[in-house]
Amino acid sequence: MSVLAERRMARQVSVGGVRIGGGAPVSVQSMTNTRTEDAPATLAQIARMADAGCDIVRVAVPGREAAAALREIVAGSPIPVVADVHFDHRLALAAAEAGAHGLRINPGNIGGLGRAREVADAARARGIPIRIGVNAGSLERDILEREGRPTAAGMVESAMRHAEILESAGFRDIVLSLKASDVLMTVEANRLVAARCDHPLHLGVTEAGTVATGAVRSAVGIGLLLAEGIGDTIRVSLAGPPEEEVRAGRAILSSLGLRRRGVTVIACPTCGRTTLDVQRIAERVEAETASLHADLVVAVMGCAVNGPGEAREADVGIAGGGETVVLFRKGERVAVIEGTLALERLLSEVREMAGRATAGPGPRGNTEGGR
C-alpha cells in the first residue's frame, strides 16, 4: 500500500500534448530567464531544460517583441511552451496567435470582463488552457484590507474570483496556482483550494531562494502536498539556472516514487572510516550522468566495509578502500579497481547500463509514466 494519499482527481487539461490532472503523471515545469525576444538564446536554454527533464516551459512575454519571437520559439521548442503575460490582454491574444500551448494570465487583472472574454475565446479557439497564478504578495486590495495581511483563505478567494471570470465566459480549461514564499501558507492555500474546485493545481513555493535553500523549501512545500495527493504539475522556483529547477523538481517526484527519469546518485554522509573523496566523485557522477534517461540508482560510498551493504538498493556503485576501490551491483562486490580509475570505471558501467535500460526493458525499465 502506498504511503501517499490517493491522488485528487482533477479535471484534465492538455498543454501541447502534456496532460495535466485526471491521473496524468505529475509534470515538471520551469521558466526561461533569457530575453524572450532573443529566440535563439531562449531555444538553447529550452533545449538544456528539456534535456534535464522539463516537461513544459514557460516564457515571459513582457512586450510585443517577445510575443513576436514566440512563433519561432514554439516552432523550435522540443516541449510545450506557455506564454506568461501580465496585465496586457493584447499580449495574451498575440501569444495565442503565435501558437503558445498555454497562457498564464490572471483574467481579473486585464481591465474588465470584455477583455477576459476575448482571451478566453482565443484560448478556446486554439484548444489551449489558461493558468491563473495567485501570489500571496499581490492579492487584491479589498482582500488584503479585509484579511489584514496575505492569508491562505485570501489567496483562495483571489483564485476563485479569477476562475469565475473565465467560467462565466464558458471557459473551463483552467489550471490554478497559489504560491507564497511562506511554505506553510502555500500548503494551506492549496489544501483549501483543492477542496473547493476540480481544477488541476500547479504547485510551487515562490521566491524560494538560492539553489540549496530554495530546493529544500520547495521540496517541503511541494512534497507535503503531493504526499496528500494534491498537485498535478510543479515548478521549483530558484534564484539560479532553470535547469537546476528542473533537476530539483525531478528529484522531488523521484523521492516520492511519483516519477523516475534519469540517474539518481546516492552518496554516504562520510565518517571517520571514509577513504574516498565522496563529495567530489558524487558530484562528478551527477554531472556526467545528468542527460541519461535510464532509471538507475548509483552509489558513491566512503568505505568498502559498510558501503556495498548500506547501498544495497543501488544498481551500481563504488566503495572506497584506499589504493583500491570496490565496484558493486545490488550490494554484491563484482570487482576491485585501482583507486585512480574508479570514477571512470563507474561512469562506463553506468553508461553501459543506461544504454541497455533505454534500448529495452532495463533493470526497472524507464518508469517515466509515473502514476
- Given the rule CB under 6 A, which residues bind ligand SF4? 268-271, 273-274, 301-303, 306-307, 310
Query: Where in the chain does DSSP place strands (E)?
Result: 13-15, 18-20, 27-31, 56-60, 81-84, 102-104, 130-135, 174-179, 201-203, 233-235, 263-267, 296-301, 316-319, 324-329, 332-338
Question: Whole-number minimum distance, CB 220 to ligand SF4, in Å?
Answer: 25
**Cell output for 60:** 515571459
**Contact in structure between 218 and 30 (CB atoms under 8 Å):** no
CB of residue 281 vs ligand SF4: minimum separation in angstroms?
12
CB-wise, 6 or 323, nearer to ligand SF4? 323
> Smaller CB distance to ligand SF4: residue 21 or 302?
302
Strand partners, 30: 57
Buried b (16+ CB within 10 A) or exposed e, 58-94: bbbbbeeebbebbbebbeebebbbbbbbbebbebbbb
DSSP per-residue string spanning 134-203? EEGGG--HHHHHHHSS--HHHHHHHHHHHHHHHHHTT---EEEEEE-SSHHHHHHHHHHHHHH----EEE
Nearer to ligand SF4, 156 or 311 (CB): 311
Q: Which is nearer to ligand SF4, 3 or 271 (CB)?
A: 271
Q: Which is nearer to ligand SF4, 269 or 360 (CB)?
A: 269
Amino acid letter for position 172? R
In the bound state with ligand SF4, the residue whose beta carbon lies nearer, of 17 and 269, is: 269
Least distance to ligand SF4 from the beta carbon of 350, Å?
Answer: 19
Using CB positions, name the residue nearest to ligand SF4.
Answer: 302
Least Å distance between CB 272 and ligand SF4?
7
> Rounded to the nearest whole angstrom, what is the least distance from the CB of residue 260 to ligand SF4 in the complex?
24
Q: What is residue 58's three-state secondary structure?
A: strand
Q: How far is the CB of 318 from ligand SF4 (least distance, A)?
A: 11
